[in-house]
Amino acid sequence: MPRGEWSAKRERQYDHIKAGLKERGHSTDEAEEIAARTVNKERARHGESRERSRTSTQDISSGRRGGLRSHRGEGGRTYDQLYNEAKEKGIKGRSKMNKAQLEKAVGR
């Protein structure tokens, strides 16, 4: 991990996230990976990294997201994310659909 480039604040953030994940039963390796990805995403959002993906800068923040999109648990993608995907695909009647209908309509 390129942790040598992280500020003291990002190091503290990494340690805090890692400790929280380990308390919730994640393995050390998994906790380290998730914590590093979260810190790197926050660095990209705040212009602290040289490279950044579109998802890192345009998606909802890691802190806000919480469990909204955690792997397959806690409900998957949010209603707004599904709605925006349906809008991009030009799906008609999306404004009257609920979350389950949007999931089916976007086909994922």
67 and 103 together in one domain: no
Note the pLDDT tens digit of each residue in 11-63. 999 999 999 989 989 899 999 998 988 888 888 877 777 766 666 666 676 66
Angle between helices 8-23 and 28-45 (to 10 degrees): 140
pLDDT, position 3: 59
pTM: 0.51
DSSP assignment of 47-106, as one string?
Answer: T-SS---HHHHHSPPHHHHTTTTSTT-TTSS-HHHHHHHHHHHT-TTGGG--HHHHHHHH
4 and 50 together in one domain: yes
Domain that holds residue 41: 1-73
Place of tokens 């003291």: 8
99 and 61 together in one domain: no
Q: Which amino acid is at 80?
A: D
65 and 23 together in one domain: yes
Q: Tell me what percent of the residues of the chain surpass a pLDDT of 70.
A: 71
Structurally, the chain folds into a number of domains equal to: 2
67 and 31 together in one domain: yes
pLDDT, position 73: 52
88 and 57 together in one domain: no
| Average pLDDT for the chain | 81
Place of tokens 């914590």: 35
58 and 81 together in one domain: no
pLDDT, position 14: 92
